[in-house]
């Protein structure tokens, strides 16, 4: 039987979250025997995110407009995916609209939406939309929503994820990581019994207060700060003499080390190795859930404050305890209250319970393949 071929279109808007999700999706499909063409307008992040590539995934440049040479001699595909509301390149549509699949059907057109726990997701998932104009007029586009319930498209999860986690050697991975760290504050050497906390964030309003909280905590903490915006946010605070003096005058229980850019695989390892994780955006939220460790999510901030509703919907779905709800709200700037005292034992149990519930659902790739089969 001839393998399926999918075309996935991705525009990198900000922070590499879009390309991160699309790459994991492409690799997940390829692992099931699908041949994937990933069209992306900026593939530069893949150089460090996925330097080894993936068998079965071909990355193609999505230029504006899409160059004719990239459309010549294209093998017809079974599915077109436009990720996160981007419109498939009109040049591609015009050139490929007449193609049919091996079974004589037109390619299935899917709009893969953003992840949310809001109620509209269940209502909107798998609904069709008729295209009324353009070269594909009369065709249907289907809206596919990832989500956290059985009435949605599920979450990205590799078939071998549990095996990878079981075989993960935390000590060996940390030993390999240590020479690549840049130590910026506190003890440059590992301290026996210190807890590890990973930080992947934008610029959370409560960042300074939280650092002070860690510095005065009874347990020694090493903060592992990811490259990019998180490192810049922390370094900007430490360049402020008042903040630095405040941290130095506390008990000194905090050490800060900066990470190099991590591959997606090593980012998973970071979340598995840490005692608790602070993550941002969509892809890292899902990875934090699968890690099963206590986590705090900084949602992508929107100017119209729509992210407030989205965060509350997630906290409700996750059945977050009160202290975690308050921490998340303050961390995301929804409240100006004080950060609650850390309760990692309760937060950890909540994270494990959430992971167990979501593991009962079919994963996103499986649901997409089933949807494609049933819709054709």
Catalytic residue IDs: 18, 282
Using left for φ > 0, alpha for ψ between -120 and 50, and beta otherwise, residue 65 falls in beta
What is the distance between the alpha carbons of residues 83 and 78, in angstroms, rounded to a whole number?
16
- Peptide bond preceding 65: is omega within 30 degrees of 0, i.e. cis? yes
Using the Cα atoms of residue 30, residue 34, residue 35 and residue 39 in order, give the sign of their dihedral.
negative
Residues whose CB falls within 8 Å of the CB of residue 283, separated by 6 or more in sequence, listed in order: 17, 20, 21, 24, 156
Q: Which DSSP category does 363 fall into?
A: P
Shortest CA distance to 49 belongs to which of 68, 21, 28?
21
Question: In sequence order, what are the beta bridge partners of 144?
Answer: 112
Q: Number of C-alpha atoms within 13 angstroms, CB side, residue 348?
A: 9
Residue 40, beta-bridge partner list:
10, 61
């Amino acid at each position: 039987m001839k393998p399926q071929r999918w075309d996935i279109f991705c525009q990198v808007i900000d922070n590499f979250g879009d390309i991160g999700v699309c790459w994991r999706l492409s690799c997940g499909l390829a692992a099931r025997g699908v041949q994937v063409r990933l069209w992306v307008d900026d593939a530069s992040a893949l150089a460090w995110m996925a330097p080894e590539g993936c068998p079965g995934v071909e990355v193609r440049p999505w230029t504006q407009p899409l160059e004719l040479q990239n459309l010549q001699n294209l093998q017809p595909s079974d599915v077109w995916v436009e990720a996160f509301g981007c419109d498939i390149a009109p040049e591609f549509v015009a050139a490929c609209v007449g193609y049919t699949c091996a079974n004589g059907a037109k390619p299935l057109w899917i709009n893969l939406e953003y992840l949310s726990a809001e109620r509209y997701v269940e209502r909107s998932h798998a609904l069709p939309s008729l295209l009324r104009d353009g070269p594909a007029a009369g065709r249907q586009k289907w809206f596919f929503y990832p989500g956290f319930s059985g009435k949605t498209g599920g979450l990205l999860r590799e078939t071998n994820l549990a095996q990878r986690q079981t075989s993960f050697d935390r000590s060996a991975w940390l030993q390999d990581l240590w020479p690549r760290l840049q130590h910026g504050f506190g003890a440059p050497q590992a301290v026996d019994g210190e807890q590890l906390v990973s930080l992947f964030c934008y610029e959370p309003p409560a960042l300074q207060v939280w650092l002070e909280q860690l510095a005065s905590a009874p347990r020694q903490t090493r903060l592992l700060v990811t490259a990019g915006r998180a490192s810049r946010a922390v370094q900007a605070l430490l360049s402020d003499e008042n903040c630095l003096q405040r941290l130095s005058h506390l008990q000194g229980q905090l050490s800060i080390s900066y990470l190099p850019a991590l591959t997606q695989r090593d980012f998973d390892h970071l979340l598995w190795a840490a005692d608790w994780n602070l993550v941002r955006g969509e892809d890292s939220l899902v990875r934090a859930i699968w890690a099963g460790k206590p986590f705090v999510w900084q949602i992508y901030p929107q100017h119209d404050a729509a992210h407030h509703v989205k965060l509350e919907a997630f906290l409700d779905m996750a059945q977050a305890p009160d202290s975690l709800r308050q921490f998340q709200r303050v961390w995301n700037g929804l409240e100006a209250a004080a950060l609650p005292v850390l309760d990692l034992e309760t937060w950890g149990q909540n994270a494990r319970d959430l992971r167990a519930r979501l593991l009962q659902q079919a994963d996103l790739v499986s649901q997409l393949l089933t949807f494609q089969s049933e819709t054709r």
